[in-house]
Structure 1
Amino acid sequence: MSARVRRGWPALWLGLALAGGTAAQPVVTLADAVDAAWRRSAQSAEAAGQVRQAQARRDAASAWWAAPPAVEAGVTRDRQKASGARVRETELGLAVPLWLPGQRSAGLEQADAATAAAAATTEAARLRMAGAVREAAAEVALQRAELLGAEAQWRELDALARDVARRVTAGDLAPADALAARAELLAASAAVAQARQRAQASELQWQALTGLAHVPDDVAGGPSPAAGATLDAHPARRAAALNAELARKRVAAAAASRRDAPELLVRARQEVSSGEPDTHGVGIAIRVPFGTTDRNGPLAAAALAELDVAEAAEREQVVQLGAALATARLAEQAAQQQLADERTRAGLLRERAGLIDRSFKAGETGLPDMLRALNAAAQAEAALARQQAVLAQATSRLQQAQGVMP
């Protein structure tokens, strides 16, 4: 192969190795990028709010009374008794709502289930954010591979155009050949400009998502679990299962709250009358509301409906996760096979371009054949670099489908 044909390929591989940044830039891992994107997202604030709500419910269920106590006070002045004495009555009372039997323990279990569900939902949301970050990083790597391939092809055509111009000047080639080489170079320049614009757009999307300027070199961000690994620990599946468990606890809490909370009433009464001794009294009473169908029916029906929805969502989640995992595995296997094919194809076209280049220099092959061979070899090298990025993206998607966090 000639020096010109060989010259572009090392630059392509070197550029791919350095595409993620230089030594002067900070090293950022995919996990760092996920953390940065999570902090910037509205989902993190929503998740934090769910955790606080769950903790507040637990604090309420841990209280000694079912609802905040209430104080009542009353004063009656200048009431006249039969004896003619003027009387002033003062009454103070305290109403303390009480837990029904089993209601407090059911509320604590529901609060614990809500806390666990909130934590699992947060992990599932972080995994979705990791998927968005992985896709953005893979898109940057893919567009950079396209750009490097276009630049390598431009360099090859630029070297060829200058070589043709020299040979036209020497009288070895016709002026039309110089025009053809120049036209091909201009087309390659346009391709480079388009590829650069797409690469810059993908980098801007990355920065908008993560707030980081540097893109990790490792798009996958870690090894994938073994082929026989199950999805039991998948954050989305755990979140669905714990939300279903929370719905069951709500049904149990609704069953334990068949009526409004009874109230323990403690009252103290003082009567002051002119000309007569003061009287004092203390009374205790309990107020027990009835549990009627009008009150309990809608609450129980709402809890059961929520349970049905949560269990259906859990079943649906299991099916969807299994299908996504199978699809991701097939995509990665296909990407691996295609990478092997592209590597073989690039080697063959590289060798062919070298043979035609020697033939072109010897005057045995025309410029059109040389241009076609050079373009084919450059496109094959670009396709190989692009397929490497595609394989990295497929591996990243497989890890995402398996529930692996970076």
Structure 2
Amino acid sequence: MRWLPLATLLLAGPAFAQQTPLSPRPLGVPPEVNPAPLAPIARPPAGSVPPPSARPPVARRDPATPRHPRGRTAAVADASGLASDLDAAMEIDAGARAIAARRNAVRARDAQVRSPIAGSPALGGSFRSDTRGPDRAREWDLEIAAPVWLPGQRGALAGTVEAGVAEQGYRLELRRLEVAALLRDAYWAVGAAESELRVARDRLATARDVARDFSRRAELGDISPTEALLGRNETLAAELELARAEAAADSARAAYATLTGGSTNALAAIRPEPLAPNGNGHPALRAAAAALASAEAQARLVAATPIDNPEVGLFTRRQGGPLTEDGYSVGLRLRLPLPTEARNAPRRADAEADRTRANAELLQTRRVVEGEVRLARVALSAAEASSRLAADRRAVADQQVAAARQAFRSGEIGAFDLFRVRQLQIEAAAADAQAQVGVGRARSRLNQAMGVVPRG
């Protein structure tokens, strides 16, 4: 029979995880975009809906007018709950902790910049004796030496430390955006699952109402017992779908809690994020620019160190024995390496290669970010148009069901015809719920493409 596979209608339209070339593969499943929480899908009680002739025609909205779905407010909701959950997710994220540790390691090189010498000092010494015996001639010396800074080397090294710390800081911001992508998908997975759950609950309530009508009609002899079983079958199908939807909602919440380490502040009320007017600079662009600055700083350091650091030492010498000049002496020793192409050419080539790579990555990242923003805007416009059509379709389907139930009570149509109309209404309700979630998901994707993370 055509009405039996009704439980499969709510499973239509797979949700795709939010994913960009600049972010890792997320968990997957979506949201809605209107600035307020998803509301339960309202269905009128049995017998309370007037016939189509008594109802006003379906209003067609101007596409330029923002849509405020039924049961939702137009106020822009904040994302403070999502922001606090993002903080919790960052605290346990291995990638974020590794970047923070790397930043501390780069910052630790500042100790070398603050040092008055270019490296570690060294102690040295020697002892020499005549072969005719230590009493004839003996000599020993003790030396302390340290490398010295080349002209401009200290400032160049300080530049690499500063650029390296800034680069790791921007990479931490980029990692926060990547974690936000995962969190947004998990967040809207919960929103989508709860939307399906509300549709399933509404379907079950209506199925039980229709089943009671069938039972009364069967008891009065208006319909056959076989037709009355249609209502019972549909009720069981709705209960099965409700059980599946409840399990899916529980699974989505568990996946979200796994990302945040148990924090579920944002799930208290599923709200769409406010759409950011403009990003203040995409973290991926800032990280790529910082990587280029770090490569340029390293190239300046290579240019400032054409040789290894010279070494200056202070020594004292003691001589003794009848064949030597008895007494102490002091002196200075200098070790000055000479520049060679065998040393400098590979270093210059490596520095130039890093700078070329960083510059190319910056240009590519800029193109990717601009392309993602354009695609996200197109997707948001398409999702909003689909949501408007889905809402209108559902309004028409609600009118059809109301008219069909009235006709069934008056005996104008049979149970099979009523269930065919009701199947269309269930399809429309499911499509409307998915369209609402799709709009919110598209809004989150646009925020993600612009590099905007949830903020409290």
Does the 8 A contact of 2:400 with 2:421 survive in 1?
Answer: yes
Higher alpha-carbon deviation: 34-43 or 162-171: 162-171
1:189 positional shift: 2.5
Provide the rounded CA distance (Å) in 2 between the counterparts of 1:45 and 1:2.
Answer: 52
Does the 8 A contact of 1:232 with 1:238 survive in 2?
Answer: no
Amino acid at match of 1:287: R
Matched, 1:102 2:144: no
Provide the rounded CA distance (Å) in 2 between the counterparts of 1:272 and 1:263.
Answer: 29
Equivalent of residue 3 in structure 1, options 45, 54, 63:
45
Q: Which residue of 2 aligns with 1:205?
A: 255
Once the two structures are superposed, the pairs formed by residues 5-404 of structure 1 within 5 Å of their partners are 29-76=81-128, 85-211=135-261, 212-216=263-267, 217-225=269-277, 229=278, 233-273=281-321, 278-404=326-452
Provide the rounded CA distance (Å) in 1 between the counterparts of 2:271 and 2:87.
Answer: 15
SS in 2 for 1:29: helix
In structure 2, the CA distance between the partners of 1:319 and 1:355, relative to structure 1 (3 Å rule), is same
CA-to-partner distance for each residue in 1:5-39, whole Å, 9 max, x for gaps?
A: 769xxxxx88x99xxxxxxxxx9711011111111
Does the 8 A contact of 1:267 with 1:282 survive in 2?
Answer: yes
| Structure 2: gaps spanning 5 or more residues | 1-42, 50-69, 74-78
CA-to-partner distance for each residue in 1:306-361, whole Å, 9 max, x for gaps?
A: 11111111111001111111111111111111111111111111112111111111
In structure 2, the CA distance between the partners of 1:232 and 1:206, relative to structure 1 (3 Å rule), is closer
Amino acid at match of 2:335: R
In structure 2, the CA distance between the partners of 1:222 and 1:271, relative to structure 1 (3 Å rule), is farther
Runs of 4+ in structure 1 off by over 3 angstroms are 75-81, 84-88, 213-223, 272-278
Provide the rounded CA distance (Å) in 1 between the counterparts of 2:272 and 2:234.
Answer: 37
Amino acid at match of 1:176: T
In structure 2, the CA distance between the partners of 1:6 and 1:265, relative to structure 1 (3 Å rule), is farther
Provide the rounded CA distance (Å) in 2 between the counterparts of 1:235 and 1:44.
Answer: 14
SS in 2 for 1:72: strand
Does the 8 A contact of 2:180 with 2:453 survive in 1?
Answer: yes
Provide the rounded CA distance (Å) in 2 between the counterparts of 1:218 and 1:78.
Answer: 91
Larger helix proportion of the pair: 1
In structure 2, the CA distance between the partners of 1:222 and 1:72, relative to structure 1 (3 Å rule), is farther
What is the aligned-residue identity percentage? 30
Provide the rounded CA distance (Å) in 2 between the counterparts of 1:114 and 1:171.
Answer: 85
Taking CA–CA contacts closer than 8 Å with sequence separation of 6 or more, which of the two structures ends up with the larger relative contact order? 2
Amino acid at match of 2:354: E
Let me know the Cα RMSD of the aligned residues. 2.6
Provide the rounded CA distance (Å) in 1 between the counterparts of 2:272 and 2:126.
Answer: 72
CA-to-partner distance for each residue in 1:346-402, whole Å, 9 max, x for gaps?
A: 111111211111111111111112112223223323322222222111111111111
1:68 positional shift: 0.8
CA-to-partner distance for each residue in 1:216-239, whole Å, 9 max, x for gaps?
A: 3355444412xxx4x661111000
Provide the rounded CA distance (Å) in 2 between the counterparts of 1:218 and 1:58.
Answer: 46
In structure 2, the CA distance between the partners of 1:361 and 1:58, relative to structure 1 (3 Å rule), is same
Aligned residues, how many? 386
In structure 2, the CA distance between the partners of 1:2 and 1:222, relative to structure 1 (3 Å rule), is closer
Provide the rounded CA distance (Å) in 2 between the counterparts of 1:375 and 1:155.
Answer: 15
| Structure 1: gaps spanning 5 or more residues | 8-12, 18-26
Higher alpha-carbon deviation: 90-99 or 275-284: 275-284
CA-to-partner distance for each residue in 1:166-202, whole Å, 9 max, x for gaps?
A: 2212211111111222222222223223322322222
Provide the rounded CA distance (Å) in 1 between the counterparts of 2:275 and 2:376.
Answer: 15
CA-to-partner distance for each residue in 1:252-274, whole Å, 9 max, x for gaps?
A: 11111111111012111122337
Give the structure-1-normalised TM-score: 0.88
Higher alpha-carbon deviation: 301-310 or 178-187: 178-187
Q: Which residue of 2 aligns with 1:24?
A: none
Provide the rounded CA distance (Å) in 2 between the counterparts of 1:238 and 1:311.
Answer: 12
Higher alpha-carbon deviation: 173-182 or 372-381: 372-381
CA-to-partner distance for each residue in 1:33-55, whole Å, 9 max, x for gaps?
A: 11111111101211111211221
